[in-house]
Structure 1
Amino acid sequence: MKNMKVIVILLLTMAIVGAGAMFYLKEPQAEADKKPSAEEIAARSVDTDVITTNLASEDNYGVVQFNILLSTEKAKEEAEKRAPETKAAAISTIAGFTKEQLAGKDGIASLEKELYTKLNEIMQDGKVERVLVTEFKLQ
């Protein structure tokens, strides 16, 4: 009978500790799922200059501007210092597409995804969280 009480107390203790651990571990995840405010986005965003470059298809060019959201304000500072590298990456990315590949929402999404990957390779003190095309013209 005494052993049964010990087992019940141990099981209850483990259940309470487990429930507490789940609550504690779940809390930061809810914080991470929270979307950043407009102020937080502005504090971590960089806009590129308007970029005009030839496309891979003959006699076509694109005019594009990007908004880049970075993981921290320190990463934003790094991105601002690396503006020439960012611009070069954007130009080479755009120039790799044909007019047909860039047409439509799928083309813009492909451009954003490819530039996102290139910029994350450049960054050292943070990471790019999102790349948005904010101006887009094809000729």
Structure 2
Amino acid sequence: MKNKLVKIMLILLLSITLVGGIALVVVMKFTGEEEAHAEPSIDEIIESSVDVPEITTNLASGDFIRITFTVQTDSKDAKEELEKRNFQVKNIIVTELSDMKAADLKGKTGKTKFEELIKSKINSIMQDGKIIKVYITSSILQ
């Protein structure tokens, strides 16, 4: 009698676990899980981006650069905070550029490294969100 009862309990337990697992997979598959990992549309990117006006400054090598940026944030709250922190963003950019040489900013690799540096520096001061990407929209190096 005990052996039969144990078999029935194990079968019920396995059945409940199997049904629960299937339900979990179905819920995860058909809810917004895929949307959370989807790339944002261009309209969403523009809505959460801030343009940094042109900055002209000297480099450590004696050259000067004229540069503009667009900074993409992860939310509208982050965009509002970044707009308020505009003076801090300009300070970060000017300070970082003042330690660089013209050779550091030449080519795709140099610009990409600089974008990543600015992104990490701005993220360190952000409180209501984070920076997704920094885009150099114009650059004149003389």
Q: How far has the Cα of 1:8 moved from its partner?
A: 1.4
The alignment yields a C-alpha RMSD, in angstroms, of 1.6
5+ unaligned residues in a row in structure 1: which ranges? none
Residues paired across the two proteins, number? 138
TM-score computed with the length of structure 2 as normaliser = 0.88
Matches within 5 A, 1:3-82: 3-25=6-28, 27-57=31-61, 59-82=62-85
Give the CA deviation at 1:17.
Answer: 1.1
Structure 2: stretches of 5+ with no match in the other structure: none
Question: What is the alpha-carbon distance in structure 2 between the residues aligned to residue 19 and residue 104 of structure 1?
Answer: 52
Partner SS state of residue 6, structure 1: helix
CA distance in 2, matches of 1:23, 1:102: 50
Q: TM-score, normalised by structure 1?
A: 0.90
Alpha-carbon separation, structure 2, partners of 1:30 and 1:56: 47
- In the TM superposition, what are the counterparts of 1:121-132 in structure 2 within 5 Å? 121-132=124-135
The residue identity in structure 2 corresponding to 1:96 is D
Q: Deviations over 1:65-90 (max 9, x none)?
A: 11101111111111111111111111
Q: Quote the offset at 1:21 in angstroms.
A: 2.5
Match for residue 86 of structure 2?
Answer: 83
1:24 and 1:92, CA in 2 relative to 1: closer, same or farther beyond 3 A? farther
Bigger-Rg structure (1/2): 2
Amino-acid identity (%): 33
Distance 2:48 2:91 in 1: 21
